[in-house]
Structure 1
Amino acid sequence: MAQWQELLKLDLALQSRVSQLYDERKFPREIRHYLCVLLEGQDWDAAAVDENKASMCFHVLLVYLEEQWKHSVQENNILQGPDFSWMKDYLLKHFKDEPLNLAVILSECLKEEKKILTSASEAHGCGSPAMDQKWKELDNKVNELRRQTSEVKKGMKSLELLNENLDFIQKNWQSQVEEHNGLAQSSPFVVGECLKRINFITKTKQIVLQQIVNILNLAHQMVATLTDVELPEWKRSQQMACIGCPVDTSLDHLQKWFTTVADVLLRVREQLQKLQDQNKKYNSTATSSLPDPIAENERFTQLLFTKLLADALVVEKQPIMSSLPHRPQVLKTGVRFTVAVRFLANLPEFKCLLKVKPVFDKDVEEAKTVKGFHHFVFNNDDCRVLDVDTPCGGLVGEFRHMSLKHKPKAKGSSESHLIVTEELHIIKFVTEFQHAGLKFDIEASSLPVVVISSTNQVVSAWASVMWCNMLSIGEPRNLSLFVDPPPLTWQQLSQVLSWQFLCAGQRELDQNQLSYLRDKLVDDPDGLVHWSKFSKNENAWIWIDGILDLIEKHLVDLWRDGFIMGFVSREKSEVLLQEKQSGTFLLRFSESNKEGAITFSWVEHSNGDTHVHAVAPYTKTELLNSSLPIIINNYSLRAKRNMHRNPLIYLYPDIHKDTAFGHYDNTSEMSAPNKDGYVAKTPVYVSENPTPPPSPPMEMPNMDIDIDLDMDVETTLEDQQLFHEVVSELLNLPGEDIWTSYQEVAQAQINRSC
């Protein structure tokens, strides 16, 4: 199977990582999707280092797109099919003169895709022997259901033949009796043979009925397991995946089990109907006592079938806006979002049978009882018929162009006592099942969504979604959760925070980072985190989200590779660095900048003294102009006589900066002449040479202030000497005498401070 098809089966969080690959490189995912087989068939690794091969691969793409475009024209399928003409124009516009750049992009993306698939496979296989065993047992049970159903089918065929033979003998014997008087009395053998056949038919029917009872008993177990255990577990996994948990949310297993059990129940129902028809057709004393057990089994079959299918409709893809791939369940009025439903009983008879309609806040009590609850409606609520035109072949309906608008409030209605980012809503999908004489309604609900009207509300809305998904388990959903929001345990919150960093930077938080955040967020003796501390009054989440945005936009590689310590206090960083060799530095996030900023601290040992310095934090605006590895590589201090030096040598604990950041630094590429023949300018980041007082002792309070080294600091004695030499020369004064007296005063000040 194509690599792209495997990626389409991954959960939402992993698919978002794939999407981010192409968004970062500004390469359309539509081209990757529709040319998946062709793209994966080319050797882009070789093309990325060979311009001739890159040109050849590029030409192959253009030829293929041209052929597909002509085919679309011939088939009169321009509007319904992919826009191959646009794809060709896009490639020509962006890569006609730089096919090597295209090869590099695709080589990198395909490699990253494989890493994502590998990580998904490892996550699925790691620590899940119990899960594998459980799935194996369920597979064995559905296989046993198939086998037993096949045996019943064979038994019914035998029963049909036996009844036909007996009916033939009885009718043929009766006609002979009518033609020849007294024949019945003279042929006791025929009568005895008929009785034997009737007894055998009776026993065969009892065997078949018992086989059906066995099937129904096993099906009852399976239905209970699927609807009461497996499906809720999958829904909980999906709920965690929506907030970043790296879990498998594939529906392949559930669809297989639902489909098999539904098929078995349909076949059993058919066999029971055949048995009923046989009783009517071959009306004999041997079958007069059988209709009741048949009817009872048929009622039980219908009950199981209805229970199974009533839970078979699921929201496979939760509501999500394309602009927020990492943050489903946050919807903005007037902005398009996508949601998909799937019917797990994927039988041919059900294709195009179900017409699903979305309904916003259907039967929601909060809409009636919560003061000032906001009301929304769909801009369009078109239905979808579940079909199998999907790569996985499932009965799927995808709503791709949904959007919401405010429903006007009734006159005199009061304002909500909940802010809009704390209001929870649901989308229900309703349909009617009507098949083989059965008719009943089916519903599926989305996870709670938050509807906002401004992009400024996204951060707060996502905090509500995380809080809700960690606390709101099972159905019906508690949409009044934030009227009096329960606290989260630190274990719950630390998990969800760690997942956010996994989504943003492909690496979770380690124990040291979590410990730092715990000290920031937990002040409850029971280890609880309250909603007001996290996202209302103190709003620590705003600061954390700013760091997540900083990582996602500027620091993904450094964070993923573990080179950013990040969450460490100023005081702690000084303690860690004091015992290290001069030039050792670490990277940490600013504690004062709420929009996300990063700084570095380094240590210097001189004349028996140890000094730890920190540079003013770099914001997103500054990192837009230059990457952090380049800043670190080009950073320098202005020392005496305007000489410059880079004080950053070893990344904590002892990794040389060239080893750590060498492959991120593209200054060598920048130094190459561009098309115009110019060499790109490399920025240099300069600070005055600092010599601050020794770092404060451990018992002193942490001031938590980031020092800007561009500010004036205490100069060294050598700098002072240079200054007075210049002054003496300018004023024509005896410089040596001035310097000697100044040196004595300075030394006395130092002695007093010590």
Structure 2
Amino acid sequence: MFITNRDSQDIFYYILYHPARTVYKQRGQNSHNMAQWQDLLKLDSALQGRVSQLYERKFPREIRQCLCVPIESQDWDSAAVDENKASTCFQVLLVYLEELWNCSVQENNILQGPNVLGMKDYLLKHFEDKPLNLAVILSESLKEEKKILALASEAQCCSSPATNQTWKELDNNVNELKKQTSEVKKEMMLLEFLNENLDFIQKTWPSQVEQNIGLAKSHAVVEEECLKRTNLITQKKQMVLQQISNILNLAQKIVATLTDVELPEWKRRQQMACIGSPADASLDHLQKWFTTVAETLLQVCEQLQKLQDQNKKYKSADASSLTGPMAEIEKFTLSLLTKLLANALVVEKQPIMSSLPQRPLILKTGVRFSVTVRFLANLPEFKCLLKVKPVFDKDVEEAKTLKGFRHFDFNKDDSKVLDVDSPSGGLVAEFGHMSLKERKARTKGSHESRLLVTEELHIIKFVTGFQHAGLEFNIEASSLPVVVISSTNQGVNAWASVMWYNMLSAGEPPNLSLFVDPPPLSWQQLSQVLSWQFMSVGQRELDENQLSMLRDKILDDPDGLVQWSKFSKNENAWIWIDGILDLIKRHLVDHWRDGSIMGFVSRERTKVLLQEKQTGTFLLRFSESNKDGAISFSWVDHCNDDAHVHAVEPYTKSELSDKALADIIYNYSLRAERTHRNPLIYLYPDIHKDAAFGRYYNTPETPAPKKIKDDYVKRNNIPTSDNPTPPPSPPREMPFMDMDMDMEMDMDMDTLVDLLDLPELPDLFMYFQEASTETNFETNFETDFVNFNCSF
């Protein structure tokens, strides 16, 4: 460690008095230093999933969240290249955790609070001796977080100028609606005061005026004054009704925009987000608008009721003349409220299994899945008002018309009451323990379906009844079409169906028979959704060159259309692409994200790219023949002014499970007659391999040699290939050390023994064995003494 006692003391005071300090004295106080993590928490589920991926198998996300203040307060970029700074930053986290623990003890909050001791143990175990590794992880992760935030911001701001303008207009109209409603409430209070004043005059003035001016004149005076006030009240009522009419006309415009434009557009964005698009599927704007308009319409109903009550209470002379207009206004108000609330129930999180977090809408029989619904009109009076029940394939015509269409039921009746969801403050019902069972298995000889299991589409509807403010009607919300599989092996083809459907279909009702005669996708559509898959899995989309290679492999239509059978059935290009996606997810996420893997490049293109490069330049490409996903590297050698491009046999998932790609590249060796050499020097175009892969090398300190059993010495498994033909030309200038090594290799064994003053050949093995136990030099050599052609 590089931390002195004075350093530790300085760190403690830095934390204690740093502006970012929230856990001490004022726990829970928001800080500007944790703004990045707070912004991430506001993203939709698809983008939050990408943030979660950043920390998979690298760093616990819980620690990132708990320590967001000190993490975002440190300069991890500098620490990633300076071990002293890395150690200092590491100590900052430990001191913060210590203070957090003390605070939990003082507040008697150990069980309810975060697992502070567990986090501290994790940090000490993994990074106490290697704080630089922690600095590198956090530096890279914070940068990637910023990229995701920028992507979300760009998607929101650049969605379309029309959308931005519509949202501004909606905000302005909703604010105007609130303003006008507030003015009506004030006018109604004034109207109440005028009615009370008139009632007072009618009851008390006659006797008082009679005493002062006599009976004959008193009647006329009181009647005149009451008439003035009655006329004023009538005018005020008409003005209030006109204001309410203006409010309803504006509300009608807003309701139409919300239900006919904004809500369908959000559903389309959610469709795209489900299949990997960075589209913003947040409900914040919609919930704000739905809630405000619903609140306004309920207040209008309330003011109309107050007006009716005033007419009855004070026996207004104009009550009969206002009855008709008030009834029409009330009817119009309730119709707008019904239309708004009937569309307010939405499926916020589509059906998804925890085992396939990046691939929603695929359900397996007997396996638990979750789905969340939200009521956008988030008013206190609606809390616990609605009980939502899921129904599978409700009113699905395809269930009757398609032969062999399977029928499913939920394993249990699972109804939920819409309640306030504390993190977001919305009226939410989360169905977290749902599963399906097939109602009746098909028997042999039954009608065969025209669809494969992975092409059969189903929906889940959520139904509830609304009863409030004199209204009574049913509300339904549908999930996007789901594919129900019975075997995990069907998941790949099922996802192809999900992508295909959602790229083609928008609007309601859903076309569940789409795959009876599936329309083609344009290459533009298909290339976009494929690029999203690589962004979801590896945080990097496909570039134009990669898409061009895929286009040549998949597309053969002059009109640029891709048929469903071409993509997912006959030649099944999707199986190959999915195998590569799985390969990236399991073993190559970091390298794909860094841009080190060119990936989709043909053999012919590889030769063109490499033959003009210097000897030792290599690139990484995916195997075109291995359907399960494999990666190879090709490099260039020059011999007699001729460039020779060689390729290694692709590495499969099982091989990459045993040895990471970075270590394979670092240790790779070509075996000639007497020498070993690594031909991989520069990652295309001219990046030294250590700069590209150095941070991922797994090169632990070599322990002292030890015997395992039967007197064998531990060895390393080094990836080796035979030297390709033709061999590379020798370098023009051979370094001095290399010349010495070659001279030594060419010596016969007797000469070598004489020079090194070694024992005679029969005792040579014993000599090396004894030497290996008495010294600390590296003994990871092979027992054939580096290919010396010796025979004992």
Q: Indicate whether the TM-score tops 0.5.
A: yes
Matched residue, 1:237? 269
Matched residue, 2:759? none
1:201 matches 2:259: no
Partners of 1:288 and 1:345 in 2: how far apart? 35
Amino acid at match of 2:229: R
Partners of 1:381 and 1:108 in 2: how far apart? 46
Matched residue, 1:734? none
Alignment CA distance shift 1:650-1:108 (3 Å): closer
Matched residue, 2:87? 49
Partners of 1:682 and 1:59 in 2: how far apart? 41
Partners of 2:63 and 2:665 in 1: how far apart? 37
1:457 matches 2:490: yes
- Work out whether residues 639 and 727 of structure 2, in 8 Å CA contact, stay in contact via their aligned partners in 1: no
Following superposition, the deviation at residue 684 of structure 1 comes to 2.6
Matched residue, 1:468? 501
- Work out whether residues 46 and 278 of structure 2, in 8 Å CA contact, stay in contact via their aligned partners in 1: yes
Equivalent position to 1:687, from 717, 721, 739:
721
- Work out whether residues 32 and 39 of structure 1, in 8 Å CA contact, stay in contact via their aligned partners in 2: no
Following superposition, the deviation at residue 393 of structure 1 comes to 0.8
Matched residue, 1:618? 651
1:303 matches 2:341: no
Equivalent position to 1:328, from 349, 354, 360:
360
Alignment CA distance shift 1:61-1:132 (3 Å): same
Following superposition, the deviation at residue 614 of structure 1 comes to 1.2
Alignment CA distance shift 1:624-1:382 (3 Å): same
% identical equivalent positions: 69
Alignment CA distance shift 1:635-1:446 (3 Å): same
Secondary structure at 1:441's aligned position in 2?
strand
Following superposition, the deviation at residue 6 of structure 1 comes to 3.6
Equivalent position to 1:506, from 516, 539, 559:
539
5 Å-filtered alignment, 1:152-191, equals 152-173=184-205, 183=215, 187-191=219-223
Matched residue, 1:13? 46
Secondary structure at 1:24's aligned position in 2?
coil
Could you give the per-residue CA deviations for residues 193-233 of structure 1, whole angstroms, max 9, x where no partner exists?
22221221111111111110110000000000001111111
Matched residue, 1:384? 416
Following superposition, the deviation at residue 32 of structure 1 comes to 6.2
Alignment CA distance shift 1:549-1:556 (3 Å): same
Amino acid at match of 2:197: N
5 Å-filtered alignment, 1:93-132, equals 97-98=125-126, 100=128, 112-126=144-158, 130-132=162-164
5 Å-filtered alignment, 1:283-302, equals 283-302=315-334
- Work out whether residues 42 and 57 of structure 1, in 8 Å CA contact, stay in contact via their aligned partners in 2: no
Secondary structure at 2:180's aligned position in 1?
helix
Secondary structure at 1:290's aligned position in 2?
helix
Amino acid at match of 1:245: S
Alignment CA distance shift 1:295-1:534 (3 Å): same
Following superposition, the deviation at residue 112 of structure 1 comes to 4.5
Equivalent position to 2:470, from 412, 427, 437:
437
Following superposition, the deviation at residue 536 of structure 1 comes to 0.9
- Work out whether residues 21 and 109 of structure 1, in 8 Å CA contact, stay in contact via their aligned partners in 2: yes
Root-mean-square deviation (CA), in Å? 3.3
1:224 matches 2:256: yes
Following superposition, the deviation at residue 461 of structure 1 comes to 0.7
Equivalent position to 2:247, from 209, 215, 230:
215
5 Å-filtered alignment, 1:340-351, equals 340-351=372-383
TM-score by length of 1: 0.83
Secondary structure at 2:52's aligned position in 1?
helix
Alignment CA distance shift 1:156-1:319 (3 Å): same
Following superposition, the deviation at residue 359 of structure 1 comes to 1.2
Matched residue, 1:554? 587
Alignment CA distance shift 1:605-1:409 (3 Å): closer
Equivalent position to 2:569, from 514, 536, 544:
536
Secondary structure at 1:613's aligned position in 2?
strand
Secondary structure at 1:25's aligned position in 2?
coil
Could you give the per-residue CA deviations for residues 572-618 of structure 1, whole angstroms, max 9, x where no partner exists?
11122222222222211110000111111122222132221111111
Amino acid at match of 2:299: R
Secondary structure at 1:258's aligned position in 2?
helix
Alignment CA distance shift 1:528-1:108 (3 Å): closer
Following superposition, the deviation at residue 60 of structure 1 comes to 5.0
Alignment CA distance shift 1:453-1:127 (3 Å): closer
Matched residue, 1:653? 685
Secondary structure at 1:363's aligned position in 2?
coil
Alignment CA distance shift 1:274-1:121 (3 Å): same
Matched residue, 1:316? 348
- Work out whether residues 600 and 615 of structure 1, in 8 Å CA contact, stay in contact via their aligned partners in 2: yes
Partners of 2:640 and 2:345 in 1: how far apart? 74
Secondary structure at 1:513's aligned position in 2?
helix
Following superposition, the deviation at residue 31 of structure 1 comes to 6.7
- Work out whether residues 184 and 243 of structure 2, in 8 Å CA contact, stay in contact via their aligned partners in 1: yes
Partners of 2:407 and 2:102 in 1: how far apart? 52
- Work out whether residues 581 and 603 of structure 1, in 8 Å CA contact, stay in contact via their aligned partners in 2: yes
Equivalent position to 2:431, from 385, 399, 407:
399
Q: Give the stretch that moved more between structures: 487-496 or 37-46.
A: 37-46
Amino acid at match of 2:535: L
Alignment CA distance shift 1:543-1:242 (3 Å): same
Alignment CA distance shift 1:351-1:659 (3 Å): same
Could you give the per-residue CA deviations for residues 433-466 of structure 1, whole angstroms, max 9, x where no partner exists?
1112211111111111111111111111100110
Alignment CA distance shift 1:407-1:65 (3 Å): farther
Secondary structure at 1:208's aligned position in 2?
helix
Amino acid at match of 1:293: P
Partners of 2:403 and 2:104 in 1: how far apart? 57
Partners of 1:409 and 1:575 in 2: how far apart? 56
5 Å-filtered alignment, 1:336-735, equals 336-409=368-441, 413-639=446-672, 641-667=673-699, 670-671=700-701, 673=703, 683-692=717-726
Matched residue, 2:291? 259
Could you give the per-residue CA deviations for residues 656-703 of structure 1, whole angstroms, max 9, x where no partner exists?
323322333343xx2354999999965432222212599xxxxxxxxx
Amino acid at match of 2:693: F
Secondary structure at 2:627's aligned position in 1?
coil
How many residue pairs align between the two structures?
A: 680
Could you give the per-residue CA deviations for residues 712-754 of structure 1, whole angstroms, max 9, x where no partner exists?
xxxxxxxxxxxxxx9xxxxxxxxxxxxxxxxxxxxxxxxxxxx
Partners of 1:333 and 1:111 in 2: how far apart? 40
Following superposition, the deviation at residue 143 of structure 1 comes to 0.6
Secondary structure at 1:188's aligned position in 2?
helix
Could you give the per-residue CA deviations for residues 223-259 of structure 1, whole angstroms, max 9, x where no partner exists?
0000111111111001000000011111111111000
Q: Give the stretch that moved more between structures: 404-413 or 532-541.
A: 404-413
Secondary structure at 1:364's aligned position in 2?
coil
Partners of 1:186 and 1:31 in 2: how far apart? 85
Amino acid at match of 1:421: T
Could you give the per-residue CA deviations for residues 530-555 of structure 1, whole angstroms, max 9, x where no partner exists?
11111111111000001111111111
Partners of 1:67 and 1:598 in 2: how far apart? 55
- Work out whether residues 339 and 399 of structure 1, in 8 Å CA contact, stay in contact via their aligned partners in 2: yes
Alignment CA distance shift 1:186-1:625 (3 Å): closer
Amino acid at match of 1:367: A
Partners of 1:6 and 1:222 in 2: how far apart? 29
Alignment CA distance shift 1:435-1:655 (3 Å): same
Following superposition, the deviation at residue 320 of structure 1 comes to 1.0
Could you give the per-residue CA deviations for residues 123-166 of structure 1, whole angstroms, max 9, x where no partner exists?
43346555433322211111100100011111111111111212
Gapped regions of structure 2 (runs ≥ 5): 1-29, 80-84, 729-747, 749-792
Following superposition, the deviation at residue 287 of structure 1 comes to 3.5
Matched residue, 2:172? 140
Alignment CA distance shift 1:323-1:292 (3 Å): same
Secondary structure at 1:399's aligned position in 2?
strand
Following superposition, the deviation at residue 336 of structure 1 comes to 1.4
Q: Give the stretch that moved more between structures: 324-333 or 177-186.
A: 177-186
Alignment CA distance shift 1:375-1:67 (3 Å): farther
Partners of 2:257 and 2:169 in 1: how far apart? 12
